Amino acid sequence: MASPQTIRPQELQQSLEGGEPIQLVDVREMEELALARLPYPVLHLPLSQSEQWMGSLEEQLDRQRPVAVICHAGVRSWHFACWLMEQHGYEQVWNLQGGIDSWSVEVDRSVPRY
C-alpha cells in the first residue's frame, strides 16, 4: 500500500520557489486558516466540511501534478494524504512534516504560531 512522502518545510519552500507545479491543499478549519496561512495559493478543503467538497474533488485537484497537504502539526494532513492515495488513487502526495507550525519555526517566522 502506498503512503505519502514526507516533505520538510524548507524542501517545500525550495520546490515552490523553484516553480514546481505543486498543488497545496490545506485541510485546517476556516478559523485556523484565518490565524495563519502560507504565502502561496492553497486549495482549502476543511476536513469537517468534507461533504461540501467531496463531490468536486476530482475537478479541483489535478492528478498529473504533485499534491502537498498541510494542517497545523502534520497529523490531519497525513490522514488526508493517505486517504487521497488509497481511496482516490493519487500518486504524488506529500505531507508537510510538522505542518504550518514547523513552517512558522523553520521557514517564515512572520506566519503566526497558534
Determine whether 71 is an active site residue. Answer: yes
For the entire predicted model, the pTM comes to: 0.95
111 found inside a domain: no
Domain count, the chain: 1
- pLDDT tens-digit readout, 65-79: 999 999 999 999 999
Does residue 112 lie within any of the structural domains?
no
Within 8 A by CB and 6+ apart from 76, the residues are 27, 28, 47
Q: Is 4 within 8 Å of 85 (Cβ atoms)?
A: yes
Residue 114 maps to a domain: no
In tens, the pLDDT along 25-68 reads 999 999 999 999 999 999 999 999 999 999 999 999 999 999 99
- CATH code at position 44: 3.40.250.10
Residue in 27, 68, 71, 96 annotated catalytic: 71
Let me know if residue 98 belongs to a domain.
Answer: yes
